[in-house]
Structure 1
């Protein structure tokens, strides 16, 4: 049998902000408040943002001298982020005071200008991630503190906003290391994770823009979440939400080659496409893995106390010859006529904001479990894995001696010729 191992690789994905000129208030000398936005690389068609795929709009709040200065103006761009327009009308810079800006896209700010010292006035309360992958949004946030107008209209710069990703991105690959197996996969679900949480904005600028060169695939890049430029989610350690990702059947042959399960939009399974239409955007959290020995049959619906795991919707065949022949090869795992069937794989998750996690399911070593068998053992101590490897122990019988021994007489019949031969000697 072959085992499903899952591997995680953290790849940083960050969105920078875009700049654009916008206006705030007071003083009509051309010193309008304008914005410059940067956003990073997209990963889910046009729904995930980066430096090469800026959002088309964002909502901004601002505070000056402890008072609300901008109360949720919508800033939009119709030219890919080159210019920005305030739909609420022009805002102007105050003459002397500094202005702190807090911006969000795909979320709603809860605004409290009377927030305690050391706490940002902006937060996002009870943000909920949809279970439909197509409906998930890339939650972005940005902070720019202590901004003032210039000496003249010409020297007044746009407010440069660098947006950070508040969520974690999850994508899936698969690899088959055993030439004697053929696998087809048509879906993956993440089971028992949290789907709602509250986010506090940082109190420092989110200026440090991370671009592709910072995370070139070496996985050596680290984020300092303690530098004050990152917001904070409340602690989240469990949940009962199931996030399914369904896709057209992907073939995983035993060639030890990694294939992409969630991009797979062009028919090319090579893992190179960052713009994954089925990439999950989930809340940062730390979970405990499901333990098959404690809960042998966790089922396919969410139950927080069971712990977190994957459900991989797959079918697996034994390959007897050089290539798969579904008419003659034996189906090892799957439903009727080779239909896919869900296999459960325990997994503990530690997800942080702004990071992309790649999980690779490896078929070929044995493992995986039936989460909801038709005829379960009523008192199982240790559930059997989906596939159990065929192993061999070899012994050879000793030759058994037959007793009594068989006497073979060596009598030579004397003939005339033998006598003559003897005489001749």
Structure 2
């Protein structure tokens, strides 16, 4: 598999993708209520069987075209530490073997955020979440899991497997000083993920298809972009290899192809290119303030935002860990700052240490000076593709 990474900032970026799923089973029978039982724990650290207290199900009967069999029915754990999920209102399979189609999801549309609503198409037995938008504040964002399956009383007497998948992309940001430049000290007070499309429609049937390229998301009706922010109570020291989202786990954002901020030709970012930004204070080892720049510091600003353009393609159900290495630079003045938009914060030699790790754990590192890396992730190839020093 060949992949091109286009990077145009004085920082290093690494991405980690992982497969996240959740498997449950439906206990069924001619005279038994439809209940849900866990079958396999997830590999994710977000929504898991252990912390999933409830989910919602909408069901269709293939022979009924004017209404769902039931809608937005809540299933809760029967008791603490139980693997059985039950509903307060009991429903049963039709006795004639008619198929039921189940759409399961968590949390509810209401809990996912204002503006989200479920639309039901009884004719084609489909469910769509319309107008979903993640919370502006990263710690307030929630994981969204969903799945689709079918069952009936004849073929599924024992159980029907129900495999939950994570519908969003999780974004985590870390900061390191690999081969640290001991001349500078970096303090981080917050993170931003800027200019991602902020709203979309989610098609449950498309998401549940076997096509690996089908995320279920349709963003064509929406153009608004958002800056997602997380500011810390206390600053973090980059020299200690700061994990910047240890309390919230990471952002939960809509899968999409990012278009990077063109820092050369569009410094003020009027085209709303994407970037990651850190709220920074940079000092020399003797305590002299380097960033924020003098005019901002004199105006009372203790920290200022430093941005790194990104053009990642986020996919549903994957986690992306951006490891920003400021050993050789500190990015550019965030275009949301009042002055010096797009100006390099530490001018000089630009080098990148880039680590790309997918779920199969292919690890490569190397230096890059010209803004482009072509990476060959052949599983049998152990040679450093950059001819490392």
Alignment of 1:88-237 (within 5 A): 88-108=89-109, 109-115=118-124, 121-145=126-150, 147-150=151-154, 156-176=157-177, 177-202=180-205, 225-226=212-213, 231-235=215-219
- Structure 1 counterpart of 2:59: 62
Task: Give the direction of change, closer, same or farther, for the CA distance of 1:258–1:309 in structure 2 (3 Å limit).
Answer: same
Q: Partner of 1:225: helix, strand, or coil?
A: coil
Q: CA deviation at 1:186?
A: 1.3
- Structure 1 counterpart of 2:42: 40
Task: Give the direction of change, closer, same or farther, for the CA distance of 1:238–1:278 in structure 2 (3 Å limit).
Answer: farther
- Structure 2 counterpart of 1:331: 289
TM-score (norm 2): 0.73
Task: Give the direction of change, closer, same or farther, for the CA distance of 1:258–1:93 in structure 2 (3 Å limit).
Answer: farther
**Unpaired runs of at least 5, structure 2:** 1-8, 110-117, 351-389
CA contact (8 A) 2:206 2:216 kept: no
The C-alpha deviation readout for 1:147-171, integer Å capped at 9, x for no partner, is 12248xxx82233311111000000
Distance, in Å, in 1 between the alignment partners of 2:82 and 2:346 is 52
CA contact (8 A) 1:73 1:86 kept: yes
- Structure 1 counterpart of 2:326: 363
Compute the RMSD of aligned alpha carbons.
3.0
Q: CA deviation at 1:278?
A: 4.3
Q: Report the structure number with the largest CA radius of gyration.
A: 1
Provide the aligned length of Structure 1 versus Structure 2: 319
Q: CA deviation at 1:9?
A: 1.4
TM-score (norm 1): 0.67
Structure 2 residue aligned with 1:344, among 302, 307, 322? Answer: 307
Distance, in Å, in 2 between the alignment partners of 1:57 and 1:167 is 19
The C-alpha deviation readout for 1:169-214, integer Å capped at 9, x for no partner, is 00011111312221111111111111110011136968x9xxxxxx
Does 2:86 align with 1:85? yes
Q: Partner of 1:164: helix, strand, or coil?
A: strand
Q: Partner of 2:139: helix, strand, or coil?
A: helix
Task: Give the direction of change, closer, same or farther, for the CA distance of 1:84–1:13 in structure 2 (3 Å limit).
Answer: same
Q: Partner of 2:97: helix, strand, or coil?
A: coil
**Unpaired runs of at least 5, structure 1:** 24-28, 209-223, 266-276, 320-327, 378-382, 392-425
CA contact (8 A) 1:4 1:361 kept: no
Distance, in Å, in 2 between the alignment partners of 1:231 and 1:317 is 44
CA contact (8 A) 2:215 2:316 kept: no
CA contact (8 A) 2:199 2:224 kept: no
The C-alpha deviation readout for 1:88-128, integer Å capped at 9, x for no partner, is 2343443321222111112433211212xxxx511211111
Query: Which deviates further from its counterpart, 89-98 or 330-339?
Result: 330-339
CA contact (8 A) 1:171 1:262 kept: yes
Q: CA deviation at 1:39?
A: 5.3
Task: Give the direction of change, closer, same or farther, for the CA distance of 1:113–1:94 in structure 2 (3 Å limit).
Answer: farther
Task: Give the direction of change, closer, same or farther, for the CA distance of 1:5–1:87 in structure 2 (3 Å limit).
Answer: same
